[in-house]
Chain A
Amino acid sequence: MSVVTDLLQQVVEGLGSGAVYASLALALVLIHRFTGIVNFAQGELAMLSTYVAWQLVASGMPFWLALPVTLAVSFAGGMLVERLVIRPVQGAPELTVVIVTVGLFIFVNALAGLVWSFTVKDFPQPFPDGGLYLAGVRLDWSTLGMIAVVAVVMGLLYLLFQHTSIGLVMRAVAGNPASARLSGIRVGRVLMLGWGLAATVGAVSGVLVAPVLFLEPNMMGGVLVYAFAAATLGGFDSPVGAVVGGLFVGVAETLTGAYVDVIGADLKVGVPLVIILAVLLVRPQGLFGRAAVERA
């Protein structure tokens, strides 16, 4: 294998894991756009969704039927979380809201452990084995599948936000909730929708990553760190940035793991932290984000 194909091989694998980070980062960005909240429990909610999928498959449902059911359950669950957990602290100081999402993190994690135990579970691989070769680079069906799924999610979100009335209403609420209210929009309901949507997008990341990482309650902890790096890099208010950031972080992680001997497989978890730090120092609003401007 030549140097170039080896490099390309690493990039392709990076894009595969980047797709997972991208979808969780997308969920983080959606919540942040709508409510200004950074949801530390996003990964745990995705983990819970993945257990729902696992339970359905374990009880005999075919995977591709279990998936839409899981997404629907996640949507309803996200709406419920907004209504019951977040709405009461909406408008409270930032730290209060952060603590609430951290509390939700711990609660969901413990709940999953209680119901499904902390032993690792095998999660079915939805994509066929094997793959194809392109110019000497091996493209696994699973890698291509992950990228395709995230592309489809992006496309659907784009259609929703840009080409439906509800999408327009959601963008209006994200931009200026007070004015939205004055136009007769029931902002609370729209925020519930936003949380439902984010939980659904997050669930996709959990289901995609579970066959690789194996399913257990702490599965999403590491992924969340990468997703935070992706969202920070892309800009916390930019969905496109989240996806670009996710793919970039995935590739950066794989490349440093493969080529920088000092880092290797053990220390590559440091990569997202370095990215977060670098972005916050150089361009705090991220690549696609806009700097917050206070009106005088």
Chain B
Amino acid sequence: MSEPTGTEATAEADFLTVSGLHAGYGQAHVLQGLDFSVARGEVCAVLGPNGAGKTTTLRALCGMVRGRGSVTLNGTQLLGRSPEHAARLGVAHVPEGRGTFNDLTVEENLRIGAHLRGGLWRRSRVERAAVAADLERVYGHFPRLRRRSGQAAGSLSGGEQQMLAIGRALMLRPTLLLLDEPSLGLAPLVTRELFEIVRTVNEEERTTVVVVEQNAQLALDIAHRAHVLEAGRLVLSGPARQIREDGQVAEVYLGVSALARKAG
């Protein structure tokens, strides 16, 4: 269902292109052939009920599960690569359940995110300065993390851990940021703050974002485009605003309650 805007499909519009993507775990065939593309600098929301294949989609993009078909990022094939290789190509995945390093301090967590830049033993002065600048940038987005920089990540609240996970992903200087259920288990107020930050990061750094969410309303608020998944297939794609305002879509796929206010 890739639909290039205008007459020619530019590299900008097809920054991330997914075509004929099949993926699953062992015998479980979850994704039944997905086609979509994400333009550079866009926030793309992937919505749908539990078990639709949202998480599997993200995992296939970052190499955590194997897939068939094609996924290209800026023309480079991502399928068949390991997660560590995908990270080297600029894909930063924030997994469901955050995946912070609980024994490490907040700052150490962030430094791990920058590990791809510079040597294993000692960094040059230029590299150290670049990492320090990135730390500042992340602390700028997440002032709460700065206050806790020396604290063990395991002692943070759920919201702060999610901020840390996103901050660590940003330290990679990603071209593609994948967020898996960032609102999971967080209080509504914290979730809103988090999504505002993701919006800011996207606007200021032009980072392309693919976000998978149960909370459709939140995701649609910051997304440019959205895709609705059901049983491993895309059943709907379009501009986020249009999907948000389409009352029928809301009822059928996203649950009325989540969108009642907007749709009404």
Residues of A within 8 A of B (CB): 164-166, 168-169, 171-172, 174-176, 178-187
Contacts and interface: CB of A to CB of B under 8 A. Distances in A.
B88 A164 contact: no
B101 A176 contact: yes
A179 B98 CA distance: 9
A182 B83 CA distance: 5
B186 interface: no
B87 interface: yes
A184 B62 contact: no
Contact of A169 (B62, B115, B168): B115
Contact of B172 (A174, A176, A179, A183): A183
A254 B82 CA distance: 52
B100 A179 contact: yes
A181 B119 contact: no
Contacts, number: 79
Given A181-B83, A183-B112, A184-B115, 9 more contacts: A164-B121, A165-B119, A168-B112, A169-B120, A172-B104, A172-B108, A178-B83, A178-B99, A184-B172
Interface range on chain B: under 10, 10 to 19, 20 to 34, or 35 or more? 20 to 34
A178 B100 CA distance: 10
6 contacts: A165-B120, A166-B120, A176-B101, A182-B95, A184-B115, A184-B116
Interface in B154-189: 168, 172
Contact of A184 (B64, B87, B95, B118): B87
Contacts of A169: 112, 115, 120
B115 A185 contact: yes
A79 B157 CA distance: 38
A165 B103 contact: no
B84 A172 contact: no
B262 interface: no
Contacts of A175: 101-104
